[in-house]
Amino acid sequence: MEKIKKQAFNPYLPSYEYVPDGEPYVFGDRVYVYGSHDKFNGKTFCMNDYVCWSAPVDDLADWRYEGVIYKKTQDPMNKDGKRMLYAPDVARGTDGKYYLYYAFDFLSVMAVAVCDTPAGQYEFYGYVQNPDGSILWQESGDPFLFDPGVLVDDDGRVYLYSGFAPKGKVFSLLSGKKRRMDGGYVIELEPDMKTVKGSPKKLFKKVGEARGTGFEGHEFFEASSIRKIKDTYYFIYSSINGHELCYATSKNPTEGFVFGGTIISNGDLYLNGHTKDTKAYNYIGNNHGSIVEIKGQWYVFYHRQTNRHMFSRQGMAEPITILPDGRIPQVELTSCGLNGGPLRGEGVYEARIACHLRYVYSAGRYKFGMGNLVFNKHPYFTQEGEDREDNPNQYIANMYNGAWVGFKYFEIDGVRSIAVKVRGKATGRLQVYDGIKGKMVGEIAVKPTTRWTIFKAPLKIENGKRALYFIYCGNGVMDFKEFQLKK
């Protein structure tokens, strides 16, 4: 009997794993993802040590945990572990070694660790420094170092991109010094991968200063990432809007970048015809990621928010297209990102792979510094158990009347029934639609239950590539664990 190939879902890592800010790279015959490491129910960003996950390039459903690759306490400036490891990047040097770049939260120091292999134990190497050995940009008025993006070019030259540009003029650090948070910079490094070569250069202006640049409405905010595709440099970044990853292109790594567009929004804004946060198809927050080519197909890696705040984010990925003229059209959120096509139209699926989640046609934004932002009747992704408990325990909680959950896509072929596993004090029905503006294809009656309970109904859905949307109509509130499609 032919073995059925395992499917790939979004989020692409196990339900207990929270690795946002994904930087994907292909080294050898595997794709590696480096990111920061959130904690389930964390109280701030990036509370855990760096870990790495990898998958064979020919099976993007088979992710392997590579373990902890770098601990926050390995840095001499953080022996007590009180600072958090923010979004990193990794580059392979001309010496064949792998260099891990990172910045601790708002310390404004860029550090480097090194390893002989992509996912081994990285060791502290040093700080990005001036030629005289002093640490880069440590005086009041210097630019702010944040979110590294690193490129070792074809000619061996090394470029570090960094910057932070929120609204406002100056951000005062705990050290008492002030830094210019005014845009994105490029810093060329020597072959030693840490010593500054020449003078850093500002590439991207912040909101309020970018008139006439072509970046208006999508000004640089954070999340610098850099890729080279043929003779073109692609700078991927998070705009001042927060929820989107944008890109800019140039034929030169240190000048001339032109705004390209939005690659993805973690609320499908713009793509859905709306710009306001409340019109998002999914709860939005910050976004950070990049692009990678795997066996001829390009993908964008990004993240979503869970647990009603921004401190438990999960990695997602979608296929993208780079057009002959170099443009990247915005892509939609899906449940089947790395699968190579729709999911099979039968079997059991966890509710956690939903790509759209809203309440009465309204979503919202999770904001930094607000902890557990409570939307009283809004649904959200959460889990049972503690951080990193290795079991399938994620679900959608808090589904009141008007909550809706969307999954895209499935290859439907002869499906005749649907079942859901739910619990709670709900009395009503789950209406099932074949698209966000589709027709109703089923209706499942649900009753109060304190344990996970299965409720079934017939399904009248046409064959082909279809989405599934569940809308709860009734009294009380329910949790949604999974659903099953049967022929």
DSSP strand E in 231-363: where? 232-239, 244-250, 258-265, 290-294, 297-306, 309-320, 343-344, 347-350, 356-359
d(CA 369, CA 85): 17
Instruction: Name 4's Cβ contacts closer than 8 Å, sequence gap at least 6.
Output: none
Cis peptide leading into residue 324 (ω within 30°): no
Query: What is the rounded CA–CA span in Å between residue 166 and residue 446?
Result: 46
Cα→Cα distances 136→144, 303, 308, Å? 10, 30, 37
Positive or negative, the CA dihedral 436, 408, 296, 34 is: positive
Question: Counting every residue, how long is the chain?
Answer: 487
**Lookup result for tokens 């503690």:** 386
222 is catalytic: yes
Q: Which two tokens stand for residue 97?
A: 């070694």
The DSSP 8-state label assigned to residue 166 in this structure reads -
Q: Which residues of 418-434 are buried (b: 16+ CB within 10 A; e: fewer)?
A: bbbbbbbebebbbbbbb
Q: 363: which DSSP letter?
A: -
Q: Strands across the sheet with 89-92, in order?
A: 89-92, 98-103, 110-115, 123-127
Active site residue 443: no
Q: For residue 286, what are the CA distances in angstroms to 86, 237, 239, 433?
A: 13, 11, 9, 30
- The span from the CA of 368 to the CA of 350, in Å, is 29
Catalytic choice (23, 38, 89, 222): 222
Q: Which residues are tagged catalytic?
A: 21, 222
